[in-house]
Structure formats: C-alpha cells, structure tokens
Amino acid sequence: MQLINLTTQMVEYDGAHCLFPGIGAYQYKDANYKFEIVMSNAEQVDALRQQISTSAGDTDSLLGTTSDGVQLLLHAFAQLTVGLHQASSLAQLREAAEPFNELATQFLAKVDSGEVRLPYIDKGRESVMAEIEQRATKVADILANP
Amino acid sequence: MALEQDIADLVQASNNLTTVVDGKIQNIDQRVDDSQVLVQQWLDTRHVGFSLVDTLMDHSNGYITLAPRFGSIEEATSFEFNSADDYAPTGCYTDIANTVPATPNWFSEPVSTQFTGRLSVYANISIGSAPHPSPKPVTRIALLHNSIGAHHGWITTGSPTPNYRDPRLFMGKGRHENLEIKGQSYGVSNYDDLVSLAENETHNVSIGFSHVRLINLGPYPIHIKGFWMIYHGHQKES
C-alpha cells in the first residue's frame, strides 16, 4: 500500500499493509497534511482479513465457529431426517421438526430484525453461490487430475 | 655565613628538583591522558567487539526488481532531487523496512554503552543480465532514509512546505544522492556477492528511521536480494 501526502505529493509510505504505522505517524503537528491511501485489490483483501482477524477472531477461531455451525446443522438435519422417516402423520411431522424449531425461530427473528447479520447476504446470494460452484469445481478438477 | 649559604643553596636546589619532578609528573600525566584519548579514538573507529546486524532483507524474502528510471548513464549521472516525482518514480524504487533501532541511546534507560555509533551497510544487488560481463555494467542508485516525526519523512526541510532539493540522504552522506554501483546478474540469484554502501562510518540516522528507500536511476535494471545494516560495538568497561 501507499500513503501519499496530497499536500506535498510525496509518497510517504510504500510497503506492506501489516507494517503501516498509521497516518498519524506522518502528520506533523499543525501542518494539517491531507493524505490518500492507495491499495491494490490484494492489499484491500488483506486489510479486510486483518480487520476480521482483529475484531471477529483469527482463522482458527473462525474455523471453530464454522465447525460448530456445521455440526449443529448436521445434528439437527439427522434428527429431522430420522423423525421424518419415522413419521406417519402430520402431527408426527410437526413433532419431528420441533427440536430445532425454537432455535430456528429465534435465529430468524434476529436476522429479520438486523440484530444478527449474515455476511453471505451482504455479499449477495448469487455471488456466494458462484464462488461455491467455482471453488468446488476447481478442487474437484485438481483431485480428479492431480 | 658559609653554612647558611650552603643551606640556602641546598633548599634552592631541592626546590629546583621538586619543580623538575613536578614538571615530569605533569608531563607523564598529560601523555597518559593523550594516550587514553588516542586509544579511545582508535577504539571508536574499529569493530573490535560485536555487531548488531539488521537484516532488512535476504533470500528468504525473494528479490525486488527495479526498472531503471533513465535509459542512459548520462541522464542517470546528472540526476538530482528536484520534485516529488523524483522521490517515488513508478517501478523504479522500493522501501525496505528496518527491524533494529538505528539509535541505540535516545530515551530508554539503562542506556547501552557498547555501540561505537558507527555503521556498515552491505547490499546484495544484481545488475544487468550477465554473470561476469566485461566491462562491468555501471548503474546509479539513490539511497534515502526516512524520519517519522519530522516535518517530512524523506526531505530534511524543517517547515511544512518541502524543498525538494533537500533529500534525506541515507546516513546523511552526500554520495547517496547519486551513487555508482557495478555488478553482475546470473539468473538474478545464482551468483551473490556484496555491494558495500558504507563501512564503519558515522551515521545520521534519527530516532524516527523506519525505512530505506532505494531508487534505481539506471540505466540497467537491478534486483535487490539482500540488505544488511551492521551496528558496530566494542567491548569495554561500561
């Protein structure tokens, strides 16, 4: 990334985003310099990831949460599948869905109210689906033709 | 009377002797002081103890290729800093971060006592595109260091409006505005050796130093593969 002093047109910093000491380091007392930060796409992604790591959790923490989520879904899905398979009436169908219903209802209410925000919605469902498809296909291609 | 005169002469002779001896002692003391100064001066200019090596980059970082800013040696040789563009020509410069404090004694205590205030700087730079060409390719570079906390990082002007003719030259050495270097390049990193940028010299790198900026003036492309700053120290009573 670059830090450009717009007042003097000097490139004050040109290096890794992670080593950038912040604009404050380049402001001199009452000089009131104006600055611009220029980052490549890769650096912007890196900066976002650093922010996520700092505020939401590092990669291991995110993996842990992802793992919890998948296990929760798998468990609920297994319960639902078994319940549906054994159900022979509408009442039994409702009963099969009941274990997860309360949790699902609360979760949806939080999403609807904006209390909980899901990154995939901000990214856009089509964009996320395209990423899933492309990434899965590329991995499958490599595994099929190592 | 004769006895009194003899005693007076003896006292005078004794005084004279004392004066001479005192003079000799002062002379010896002075020579000892002078010798201590000479020894200290000698010690201050020599690395006889240890070095704190700052590896700003080496092979573990890969290498940085800089295009030449100018296409001819004549243009490169006549370069002087004159505008903001001169400090960051696109594709022709790089900033290399330091990791070791350049100013051992500034604010923190207990203070270090073993550094001589002298520095050696070496770089591993490939020039051109041949392993051992004759004549050696000649290219020119400019070296700056920054100073966070100053009015301008790369310029020494002490007011908000920079004078672009005041580059903060690396280690405060005038030669670093436009320095000739020679070398080789065999597959960029197949052959390695060192360009000596400074050897056991005093330096004017301030407390706000964080980066060296290297600008390739040309006319050859260069590949920077390593950069070391070696802070010399001696071993003496603290």
Average pLDDT over residues B207-232: 96
- pLDDT of B237 reads 67
Residue % of chain A over a pLDDT of 70? 100
- How many whole angstroms separate alpha carbon B178 and alpha carbon B142? 5
Taking CA–CA distances from B145, the nearest residue in chain A reads A12
Which of B148, B162, B210 is closest, CB to CB, to A8? B162
B94 to A8: CB separation less than 8 angstroms, yes or no? no
pTM for the whole thing?
0.76
| Contact indicator for B147, B153 with CB cutoff of 8 Å | yes
Model confidence at B128, in pLDDT bands (50, 70, 90)?
confident
Mutate to test the interface with A, among B87, B92, B98, B145 (most CBs of A within 10 A): B87
Calculate the average pLDDT of chain B.
92
Residues in chain B closer than 8 A to A13 (CB atoms): 95, 153, 211
CA distance B207 to B184: 35
Residue A33: the pLDDT is: 94
Q: What is the pLDDT of residue B47?
A: 58
By C-alpha distance, the chain A residue nearest B146 is A12
B164-191 per-position pLDDT tens digit: 999 999 999 999 999 999 999 999 989 9
Q: What is the ipTM of this complex?
A: 0.78
Best CA proximity match to B224, nearest among B98, B97, B58, B64? B64
A18 touches chain B (CB under 8 A): no
Region class of A90: left (phi > 0), else alpha (psi between -120 and 50), else beta: alpha
Please report residues of B whose CB lies closer than 8 A to that of A16.
97
3-state secondary structure chain A: CEEEECCCCEEEEECCHHHCCCHHHHCCCCCCCCEEEECCHHHHHHHHHHHHHHHCCCHHHHHHHHHHHHHHHHHHHHHHHHHHHHCCCHHHHHHHHHHHHHHHHHHHHHHHHCCCCCHHHHHCHHHHHHHHHHHHHHHHHHHHCC
